[in-house]
Structure 1
C-alpha cells in the first residue's frame, strides 16, 4: 500500500509539473505572438528566413574553403586549366570563378558561390585521374551549378526547412508537454503503462518525424534534379556527353575503398530509402542518360 500510495502521489506531481510547464510555454507563446500583428509576424519569419539563407549563401563558401584547407590555383601555375575554364564560362552565362585545389579525400569537384562570384574547388587527384576532355566535362558540370545559382536556391531551401520545422516544434511543444505529463501521470496513478495520452503523444511524434522526412525528401529530390540539369548543361556546352559519363565512372571507381595498392569494387544496389534521401542520383543512372543523349540509344560506359 505504501508503494502504491507513493506512486499515486508521484503521478500527481508529474501530471502537475508537466501541465504547469505546458501552461507556461503556451502563455509565453501567446504573449510573444499576441504582441505582433499576424501579417507582421509572418513577414518577420519570411524576412528572417531569407536573410539567414542569403547570409549562409554569401558567408558559407569562405568558411568551407578554410575547413577544406583549399589553396588558390593561380593562372601562372595552371594557364591551360584557366583558359579551359574561361572558354566554358564564355559560352555560359557566368564570369570565370576563382579556382582552388584541396585534398578532399576522394576525387571530387565542388562549386560554390554565384554566377558572378563563384569558386571551384578541385581535388588534386582529378588531374592525374581524368583525361583533358573528361576534366573539361567535370568543370562544365560544376560551372552549370554556378550558372543556375544552385547554391543560393539550396541555401534558401535549407533555411526555409529549418524555419518551418522550428515553428512546428514550438507550436507543438505545449501539446507535447501536456500529453507527456498526462500519460506518465496516469501510468503512475493507475499502474498501467499504456494509455490514450501516451498513444496520442507517440502519434504526434511520428507525425513530426514524418513531416521532417517528407520535407527532407523533397529537398533531396530537388538536389537530384539539379544534378541531372547540370549534366545536361555540361553535355550541351562541351558537345561530348560521353566524356562526362567516362569521368563520372572513373570518379566512382577511384572512390571505392582500397586494400593496399588495390581498389575493392563494391557492387550493391541502393535501397528505396537510400535513393529517396540521396543528394545525387546513382552514377549508373547519370551515365545511362548521358550515353543515351550521345547515341540516341542505351549503351554501356565502362
Structure 2
C-alpha cells in the first residue's frame, strides 16, 4: 500500500513539474511571438524601398516582461479553448464515410443504424463505469476508423470520450470495459485537461512551419530551392511584399522549429507519464488488471505500426490508449526528396526521431505491470513475501 501511494505521488509530482514546464514553454512562445512581431515591423520599410529605415527602432526589452506576463495567461486560455476544438476536429476527421453519404443507399442506412446501436451500447457501458468511479458521464463519440483506439479530450465543463469502431469490434466485453475505464481514469485524474491544452502549441507551430514552407515553395525568389523541378509552383507574389514574406518566413522557421521540438517533447513526456497512472485507474474502476493487460495484448497482436509514428504529425496520437494515430499521415504531404528543401525536411524528420521521446511507454512494460497486479490479486499471500 505504501509503495502504491509513493508511486502515485511520484506520478503526480512529475505531472506537476511537466505542467510547470508547459507554462514555461508558453512564456517562451509569447516572447518568441514578440520578437517575430518586431521582425515583421522592422522589415516593413522594404515595402516602399526605404532600406535605410529597416529596423530603425531597436527592440524594446523593457516591454517584453509585461508582454509575457499578459500574453502567457492568454495563451493558456487559447490552449484550453482551441486545443479542445482542434482535438475534436482531429478525432472526428475520419468519421465521414463517403459510402454513407447517400440517403438512398441501403448499405449507408444499415451502417447508420449499426453505428447508432454501437454508440448507445458504448454509452451504456461508459455510464455504468462512470457510476462505479463516482464521476459524471462524459460525452461519447464513435469514430469510423480501421485503427482500434480510444482517447479523451476535455476542458473545464466539457469532456468527450472517443472510441473507434475497430476497437469495439475487436475487444471482448471485459477488455472493452477495461479500456473505457482507462479513459475515464484520465478524466478523473485531470490529466486529460492538461494533455488537451498541451496539444495546442505543437499543433500551432507545426502548422506555422507548413505555411512558411508553402510560402517559400510558391515564391519566385526561393522556388528554385523549395519547389525542386516543379516550375509551376513558383509565382511572383507581389514585388517587394514577396521579399518581406520570404525574409520573414526564413527568419521565423528556426525559431518556430525550436519551439515545436521543445513543446512536442514536453507533450510526449506528459503522455508517457500519464499512461501508467491511467492503467492503474482502470484497474481500480473495473477491478481486473488481467482484462486491461489482455486488451493491450489483443490490440497489439499483428497490429504494429508500419512507420515510426514519432515522425508523424502531432495530434491525437499522444492522447490515445495506444501509440497509433487514428488518422494516418497523407503520403502526398511527405517532403519532396527531389528538392534541396525536401532533403532538408527529411533530415529534420530524422533529427526529430533521434531527439524526441516516444509518445507512450513500452507496451510490453505496461502489460507486465498489469500482469504483476493480477498475480497479486489472485494470490495475495504470495505477493506479501
Compared with structure 1, are the counterparts of its residues 255 and 294 closer, same or farther at alpha carbon in structure 2 (3 Å cutoff)?
same
Question: Is the Cα–Cα contact under 8 Å of residues 54 and 156 in structure 1 kept in the other structure?
Answer: yes
| Correspondence 1:277 to 2:357 | yes
- Say if 2:186 and 2:192, in contact at 8 Å, map to a contact too: yes
User: Matches of 2:272 and 2:290 in 1, distance apart?
Assistant: 20
1:75-114 matches, within 5 Å, as: 80-92=121-133, 94-114=135-155
Q: Deviation per CA, 1:83-105, whole angstroms, max 9, x where unpaired? A: 32112112335321222222222
Are 1:227 and 2:275 an aligned pair?
A: yes
Report matched runs for 1:193-232 at 5 Å.
213=261, 215-232=263-280
Q: Distance in 2 between matches of 1:114 and 1:73?
A: 30
Which whole-Å deviations, capped at 9, do the CAs of 1:26-68 have from their partners, x for residues lacking one? x5661xx46x744421222212311220122342244235412
Match of 1:277, SS state, is coil
TM value normalised by structure 1: 0.59
Q: Work out whether residues 115 and 147 of structure 1, in 8 Å CA contact, stay in contact via their aligned partners in 2.
A: no
State the alpha-carbon separation in 1 of the partners of residues 166 and 302 from structure 2.
Answer: 9
| Moved beyond 4 Å, runs of 4+ | 70-80, 158-165, 205-215, 273-276
Displacement after TM superposition at 1:160 (Å) = 5.9
Once the 2 structures are TM-superposed, how far is the Cα of residue 131 of structure 1 from its aligned partner?
1.1
> Aligned partners of 1:53, 1:160: CA distance in 2, in Å?
8
- What is the CA–CA distance in structure 1 between the aligned matches of 2:156 and 2:283, rounded to whole Å? 19
Q: Superposition pairs for residues 66-145 of structure 1, below 5 Å?
A: 66-69=92-95, 80-92=121-133, 94-114=135-155, 116-145=157-186
Shift of 1:225: 0.6
Q: Is the 8 A contact 1:130 1:250 kept in 2?
A: yes
CA distance 1:40–1:29, change in 2 (3 Å)? same
Compared with structure 1, are the counterparts of its residues 76 and 147 closer, same or farther at alpha carbon in structure 2 (3 Å cutoff)?
same
| CA deviations over 1:57-82 (Å, ceiling 9, x no partner) | 34224423541227899987665533
Secondary structure of 2:151's counterpart equals: strand
Query: Larger deviation: 207-216 or 149-158?
Result: 207-216
Asked whether the 8 Å contact 1:135–1:247 carries over to 2, the reply is yes
| Whole-angstrom distance in 2 between the partners of 1:90 and 1:102 | 24
- Contact 2:152 2:160 (C-alpha < 8 Å) held by counterparts: yes
Aligned twin of 1:5: none
Q: Determine the C-alpha separation between the residues in 2 that align with 1:158 and 1:120.
A: 16
Give how far 1:159 is off.
4.5
Matches of residues 1-302 of structure 1 in structure 2 within 5 Å? Answer: 24-25=54-55, 27=56, 30=59, 33=60, 37-69=63-95, 80-92=121-133, 94-114=135-155, 116-159=157-200, 213=261, 215-256=263-304, 277-296=357-376
**Structure 2: 5+ residue runs without aligned partners?**
1-45, 97-111, 207-252, 307-352, 378-385
Larger displacement relative to structure 2 (52-61 or 276-285) = 52-61
1:106 is displaced (CA, Å) by 1.3
Larger radius of gyration: 1
Contact 1:49/1:160, CA 8 A, preserved across alignment: no
Superposed CA deviations along residues 241-296 of structure 1, whole A, max 9, x for unmatched, are 110011011111152479xxxxxxxxxxxxxx679521111210110111112214
Q: Aligned partners of 2:354 and 2:370: how far apart in 1? A: 23
For the aligned residues, what is the CA RMSD? 4.1
